[in-house]
Amino acid sequence: MFQRLYDNVLGWARHQHAQRYLAALSFAESSFFPVPPDTMLVPMVLAQPDKAIRYALITTISSVIGGLFGYALGYFAMDLIEPLLHQFGYWEKYLTAQSWFNDWGIWVVFLAGFSPIPYKLFTISAGAMNMALVPFILASAIGRGTRFFLVALLIRMGGERFEKLLRRNIDMIGWVLVGLCVVLAVFLYNKP
């Protein structure tokens, strides 16, 4: 199932309306869709490196708007969503996201931009836990923007060779970035 979705997304990246598809995918991934927008962002930047900033901006803005939709789902419809989280195997990851919210608060939204745990679980958790909306939006914009601009610029600079390296090591890179952010958060919280 996921391989077919992934292949479809790669096909969308070559379509004449690719920017619209990128925006739609970025929105959907932040609230309910299982395929990350990087799968479109990367081939689009490879095809037109001069538009890397534009594509990263489209991805970021659409992802934050989709995050607001995920927030609304968690806030208004958690009772309806919970069975779906169980059905699609996201429940344990959702509980992890909630635990991180309890431990780290707003920092977890920023970290979610780099975490291998799907961002949609953080947006839904933020709504379900009634997180303050403005800090949620700011943390989402910074976290997601940092990720998408970093990916777009690295692909622009490194081309196909870097894309292959990124694909092979993306989980390790994500966990290293999460670890660095946790160390920074601990340092900031324990600072006198």
CB atoms within 10 A of CB 5: 13
- Residue 27 confidence (pLDDT) above 90: yes
Q: Supply the pLDDT for residue 2.
A: 46
Q: Supply the pLDDT for residue 51.
A: 92
- Residue 157 confidence (pLDDT) above 80: yes
Q: Supply the pLDDT for residue 145.
A: 94
Query: Of 87 and 179, which is predicted with more confidence?
Result: 87
Rg (CA), the chain: 16
Task: Report the mean per-residue pLDDT for the chain.
Answer: 83
Q: Give 51-68 as a DSSP string.
A: GHHHHHHHHHHHHHHHHH
Nearest to 5 by CA among 38, 30, 34, 26: 34
Question: DSSP 3-state assignment of 98?
Answer: helix
Query: Of 160 and 107, which is predicted with more confidence?
Result: 107
Tokens of 49: 């490196």
- Residue 22 confidence (pLDDT) above 90: yes
Tokens of 128: 């379900």
- Residue 180 confidence (pLDDT) above 80: no
Q: Supply the pLDDT for residue 106.
A: 80
> Residue 2 and residue 52: Cα distance in Å, rounded?
26
Question: DSSP 3-state assignment of 168?
Answer: helix
Q: Residue 153 burial by CB count (10 A; 0-12/13-18/19+): exposed, middle or buried?
A: middle
Question: DSSP 3-state assignment of 116?
Answer: coil
